[in-house]
Every structure is written in structure tokens, then in C-alpha cells.
Structure 1
Amino acid sequence: MFSKSKINEPAQDTAKPSPAPATPQSSAPAQSDHRPSAPKAKPPASVLSSDLHITGNLKTTGDIQVEGTVEGDIRAHLLTIGESATIKGEVTADDVVINGRIVGRVRGLKVRLTSTARVEGDIIHKTIAIESGAHFEGSVQRQDDPLNPGRAAKPGSNPASAQAAPQGKPAAAGQSAD
């Protein structure tokens, strides 16, 4: 009987086991909690199609894939310039992948010019990759913080020049290939 009283105590806790069936119901709200977490997952890139012409600036914390023409500045997390795309303005992103044409300055932590890239302007980067066949006219400058133009450029310009000297040679080689 003593054990029955223990059962009675859990019977009082039986109100708690009814939340135990509520726990599976709680998992359903937990799934609902996971659904709001799902929007926290990275949304797909915004795609600007090849027949789209935009005049104006674009700014997002997400990703953009440009296939059309943009006359203005672009700021994004990941920016992919398609082969048919043309950008006339400054491009700033954490990651920049250039397959098409940019006329203007490029700022990025990681910048990649593919073999189909055509860039007419300066590139300010932390890391850069230029594939064989890419067309580039301008200067290349390494900075630890290329996304902040004013402050990092002045103090970093002297050390960046010393660090950019080895990269200046490949840029010169890239320019001689033009």
C-alpha cells in the first residue's frame, strides 16, 4: 500500500503526466518553434533576370544574383554577377563572384574573377582570385577591412602597399595579358 501511496503521489503528478501527453503536443509547438527557426535559415538569393534593367542602388543583407543590368551601387552579403550581367557602379559584398562585366569599384572580403569576368575599376579586397582569361583594368589593393572605405583605407594604405606589392606583380601580369 505504501507503494500505492507512491502511485498516488504520481497520481497527483498524473496532472503532470497529462502535460506529458502535452509534451507530444509541445513537440508540435516545438516544431512550430522550429518553423520560425526555418525563416532564420538563409533565404535563397534574389535573382535579377537578364531582361531586367535597374537604375538605382540595391542594398540587402542577403544574397543577390544579377543576370541583367544595374546602373547604381550594390551592397550585399554574397553577390554573384552572371555572364550576361553588366554593373555600372560600386559593388560591395562579403563575397563577390564576377562572371560578367563591372564598370566601377569592387569592394569585398573575398573577390573572385572567373575566366569570363570583365572589370574596369579598382578592386579592394582581403582575398582575391583571378582566373586565367579574366579581363581586368584597374588597380588591386589588399585591406584587412575592405568593406569600410574611409577609415581603413588611410591607415591601411601604407602597409597594404607593402603587402600589395607581390599582388601588384600578378595584377601587372593580368594587365599585360590585356
Structure 2
Amino acid sequence: MFSKTRTTESGPQFNDIPETTTPPKPSETATSAAPPIPSPAPKKAKPAASVLSSDITITGNVRSSGDIQIEGNIEGDVRAQTLIVGETATVKGEVIADEVITHGRVIGRLRGLKIRLSSSARVEGDIIHKAIAIESGAQFEGSVQRHEDPVGGANNSSSQRSQSSNLSSVPSPAPAKAVG
């Protein structure tokens, strides 16, 4: 590949001058090169939960397409993808989320695909769920109903009332009380 050449004359020789290359024309590369492969779209990282700290009091409804962690007080309905009610939090209103984790106090209806009441939870209201877990020590006063789509039917509460009134011959279950 490399060889040592003997130089008998001083000065540059014709063979010592590097060859210059011309860049290919754009029309030549377009026909001979394969089309570029698109890179896969980067996955969107899940944003962090919005935290409503313990010094916040909100009067009105709260809605998020993401996750919410509540440590303060809310007087109004809350809707989110995942909702965490912290130990110091109080929510007075309806809670609707795919996943609800309650460590604090909720006064109102809970609707969710997965609902978990931790040992420090204090809930006064009905729970409509697909899956539920209640830890020992949680306090709960209200009724529990299992639905396949508890979140999807949240806007049709009036139609659900009319359906439940048609079932007057079926006795309703007694409200459950869990006191720890």
C-alpha cells in the first residue's frame, strides 16, 4: 500500500501532488443514493405530576389531562389521568380519574378504573370503580359500585339515575362502613 520512493531530484514531482477530487453533483447523488430512512419518533416522556401544595386552597373545578397530586384543599370537582390525594389534602367534590390514590380526605363521589384507599384515607361518599383496594385502617362511609367503565359514564349521571330508578324492585346494598 505504501512504498518508499527514491527522490533523486529536489523539488516537487508530479506524482507528489495530491489529486483533487470534485464533489459529486446533486443530480448524481439523488439517482444513485438510497432514500434516507426516517429515524423513529422520540418517545414523549411522561410529564411530572402537577402538585398543589398544602398552602393552596382552590374553590372551583380542576381539570388536567395529566397527573395531579393534591396536598392542599379543593372545593370543587377534580378530573385527571392519575390523582393522588395526599395525607394533608381535603377534596370536597367529585373525583374522576383513571387511577385514584387517596391518602387524605375526600368528601364526595370517587370514580375511577383503579381506586386505592390507603390506611390514612378518610372518604365520605360513593365509590364507583372497576378495581378497588382498601387498606386496613382506611375510613370509608358510602356505597361501592363496580362498573366496567366508571370514568366514561361520569358525564351521564342523570341517565344513570333514571336507570337506577327503573331498578326499584332490586334492593340496594347497605352503605359500607370501614372504621379502623
TM-score under structure 1 normalisation?
0.69
Contact kept, 8 Å, 1:146 with 1:152, in 2: the verdict is: no
- Residues 114-125 of structure 1 mapped to structure 2, 5 A cutoff: 114-125=118-129
1:110 partner SS: strand
In the alignment, what sits opposite 1:56?
A: 60
How far the C-alpha of 1:177 sits from its partner, in A, is 3.2
The answer to whether the Cα contact below 8 Å between 1:81 and 1:98 also exists between their aligned partners in 2 is yes
Q: Deviations over 1:82-112 (max 9, x none)?
A: 1111101100011000000001111111110
What are the residue-to-residue correspondences of 1:135-146 with 2, within 5 Å?
Answer: 135-146=139-150
Alignment of 1:17-166 (within 5 A): 30=39, 34=42, 37-38=43-44, 41-147=45-151, 148-149=153-154, 150=156, 151=159, 154=163
Secondary structure in structure 2 of the residue aligned to 1:108: strand
Amino acid at match of 1:131: E
Distance change >3 Å, CA 80–CA 19, structure 1 → 2: farther
Question: How much does 1:121 deviate?
Answer: 0.7
Judge conservation of contact 2:138–2:178 (CA < 8 Å) in 1: no
Structure 1 62/55 Cα, relative in aligned 2: closer, same or farther at 3 Å? same
Superposed CA deviations along residues 44-92 of structure 1, whole A, max 9, x for unmatched, are 1111111111111011111101111111000111000011111011000
Between the aligned residues of both structures, percent identity stands at 52
Report the residue type matching 1:81 in the other structure: V
86 and 19 in structure 1: CA distance in 2 versus 1, 3 angstrom threshold: farther
Seen in structure 2, the aligned counterparts of structure 1 residues 92 and 15 have a Cα distance that, compared at 3 Å, is same
Q: Which has the larger radius of gyration?
A: 2
* Alpha-carbon distance in 2 for matches of 1:65, 1:138: 24
Gaps of 5+ in 1: 1-9
Q: Which residue of 1 aligns with 2:8?
A: none
Q: Paired residues, what number?
A: 149
Q: Which has the higher mean CA deviation after the structures are superposed, 140-149 or 51-60? A: 140-149
Q: CA RMSD in A?
A: 3.3
Cα deviation digits, residues 104-156 of structure 1 (max 9, x gap): 1111111100000000111111111000000001111111121214356637x
